[in-house]
Amino acid sequence: MRTESVGYCRVSSIGQKKTGAGLDRQEKEIRAYAKQAGYKISKMYLESFTGTEVDRPVFDAMITDLLDNGCRVIIVERLDRLARDLSIQLQLTALLAGKGITLISADTGQDCTNPSDPMIKAMCQVAGAFAELDKNLLVRKLKRGRQAKKAKTGSCEGAKPYGKLPGEAETLARIKQLYRKPQGEPRRGPYQIAKILNAEKRPSRFGRGWTGVTIKDITSRF
């Protein structure tokens, strides 16, 4: 009898998710590992979200599902698909371990939530450090590319603040309304505002749920 498990696949942008870049490969590797290791994949969770934040809609929904249905195993293609920042990896694996959920990396077959094995813990930390290094090198490469373009053309426009693109003005006005301090009551926090926006089904820029981190970034400019 095979052990029930779920798969978690992550890409960093909505564009990658729409084109299937990375998600198909991750799912294929997870299912191949599960088959040979004796696991039954009951559901595959696909997320388009940066690997540098802890607060993720699909990941949070997955944890809620597991705590409800009794499944206690998550399989990822590689540890950097959980997160590319070592600190975020450690936070998430600690969260999973604290809830009795096992995280397995398909490329190595390691239980990344086993704190009792110092060798496994060290190897996971090394993998996390290299994933973070890879991300930092990519960031530096993109920064140099923007600087070279600016030197050549005189401009290199970055991402526009929320509210500057078509269709965002109404939601930005709603965020400002929710952020205003009610008379005689404390000001709403970013996570409260995000919860209200999600309940109202207001789409964010990249089509995923609102998070407190995103709201905090927007309200910091008010």
Write down the pLDDT at residue 118: 64
Asked if the 3-130 domain carries CATH number 3.40.50.20, the reply is: no
Write down the pLDDT at residue 15: 46
Q: How far apart are CA 216 and CA 191, in angstroms?
A: 8
Partners of residue 45 on adjacent β-strands:
8
User: What are residue 115's phi and psi, to 5 degrees?
Assistant: -70, -10
How crowded is the C-beta side of 33, counted as CA atoms within 13 Å?
21
Q: Which residues contact 78 (CB under 8 A, 6 or more apart)?
A: 105, 106, 107, 127, 131
* DSSP letters spanning 115-140: TT-HHHHHHHHHHHHHHHHHHHHHHH
Q: Whole-prediction pTM value? A: 0.54
Low-confidence ranges of the chain (pLDDT < 50): 14-20
